[in-house]
Amino acid sequence: MKLGTLMRTGLVAAGLAASAATSAFAQAGDTIKVGILHSLSGTMAISETTLKDVVLMMVEEQNKKGGLLGKKLEPVVVDPASNWPLFAEKARELLQKEKVAVVFGCWTSVSRKSVLPVFEELNGILFYPVQYEGQESQRNVFYTGAAPNQQAIPAVDYLMSKDGGEVKRWVLAGTDYVYPRTTNKILEAYLIQKGVPKEDIMINYTPFGHSDWQSIVADIKKFGSAGKKTAVVSTINGDANVPFYKELGNQGIKAKDIPVVAFSVGEEELAGVDTKPLVGHLAAWNYFQSVKDPANAEFIKTWQAFTKNPKRVTNDPMEASVIGFRMWVEAVKKAGTTDPDKVIDALIGIKVPNLSGGISEMLPNHHITKPVLIGEIEANGQFDVVWKTPGLVPGEAWSPILDDSKNLKADWTKPVNCGNFDTVANKCIGKAAK
């Protein structure tokens, strides 16, 4: 299916579901509103539309179980249109005007950073479902995507290992915004700690939606011809991935020569690409559709039935959205209310099954435990899992690799109640909980 067709199909299916749900809830009267803050247009729609759809599915599933606290859940969908300041405006609309009890949303870190002051001011709850750069723990945000120690660092360790090809030269290629820049700052410091010379690290950034990759891919090819095993670590986001991967194929860059490991490319993004030239390239995630587990099989079945599309794929941020939604439901039950302060406190320690056969837990730093998986791209657009951590990895809010964060910890339980507590000075250097 073509990329545009895929996106239109998702929008229509989700729109019908949202319309039907809203109609039913209007008759029900007393509802709990659930905000959905994902781009349905612009450069990030390729990735975010699916996350809107999966939250709608979870709302529908919960309502089939009788709702929550005796009330139906009502989804409220807004489109911030890949416009970062608009995210803040739409977040304020959801919290102030719509009075939502929780928001599931954002993909890019710049969109998350945009809404943080709004959630803090209005004391809302945001579940953020995408891998990110870390270096943050905010009381009103729960991070169900991967921190760097749950994706970027394990991916580099794998590529350095014998199984990963014993890579010696590194291209850090990303979209020009906070997530790739901070992640690559951590990775560069980590590689240097591991003895990699600076001249064996190439860093490149491109704007959102970048389409002309010919010269950049040529530079990567030249950098990889120095006689040392070379790999590309990609933090390229959104629809720029489509021409990037096409250009790799055009220039004959095969995985056996210069493997690419991506942190923002999953099954959904590959649906718009001819994957045959990309077979063997890698992605690091905490979930793949190809994971063999009864819970995952049931999830895929439910998802494809909901979208009325037997070919609709699943991906990692979808699983993170599902985990976040289920954790919120359990916390509301535990608190007996949707009052944000009580739900925020109740969320810590909540455990729910993930889709890989484990149990994920919300930690005091507002991050969760997750397995880490490395997958190889297959010709059908799926991933063959070639490596997995033996257990679940706790997410780190602050990187111990960087000097300015190595002494910081996040702990939103008493007596610390702080997102950036300096363990040397023994004090909170940010805003503590009231």
Using omega within 30 degrees of 0 as the cis cutoff, is the peptide bond preceding 75 cis?
Answer: no
Residue 398 has pLDDT above 60, yes or no: yes
- Which CATH number is associated with domain 149-288+374-394? 3.40.50.2300
Mean pLDDT, residues 62-86: 98
Q: Please list the residue range(s) of the chain that carry CATH number 3.40.50.2300.
A: 3-146+292-369, 149-288+374-394
Cα of first residue to Cα of last residue in the chain, in angstroms, is: 51
Residue 7 has pLDDT above 80, yes or no: no
Residue 270: how many CA atoms within 13 Å on its side-chain side?
A: 28
Q: Which residues of 222-243 are buried (b: 16+ CB within 10 A; e: fewer)?
A: ebbeeeebbbbbbbbbbbbbbb
Q: Find out whether 134 and 147 touch, Cβ atoms under 8 Å.
A: yes
Q: pLDDT digit string (tens) for 230-245? A: 999 999 988 888 899 8
Altogether, the residues listed in the chain come to a count of 434
Residue 348: count of CB within 10 angstroms of its CB: 17
The confidence score (pLDDT) of residue 434 equals: 54
Mean pLDDT, residues 336-353: 98
Residue 263 has pLDDT above 60, yes or no: yes
Mean pLDDT, residues 307-329: 97
Residue 14 has pLDDT above 80, yes or no: no
Q: pLDDT digit string (tens) for 115-174? A: 999 999 999 999 999 999 999 999 999 999 999 999 999 999 999 999 999 999 999 999
Q: Say which residue, 276 or 347, is predicted with more confidence.
A: 347
Mean pLDDT, residues 357-386: 96
Token pair of 30, please?
């007393």
% helix, strand, coil for the chain, step of 5: 40, 20, 40
Report the chain's mean pLDDT, rounded to a whole number: 92
The confidence score (pLDDT) of residue 276 equals: 80
Token pair of 42, please?
């612009």
Residue 362 has pLDDT above 70, yes or no: yes
The confidence score (pLDDT) of residue 6 equals: 39
Q: Which architecture, in CATH terms, is 3-146+292-369?
A: 3-Layer(aba) Sandwich (3.40)
- Which percentage of the chain shows pLDDT scores above 70? 92
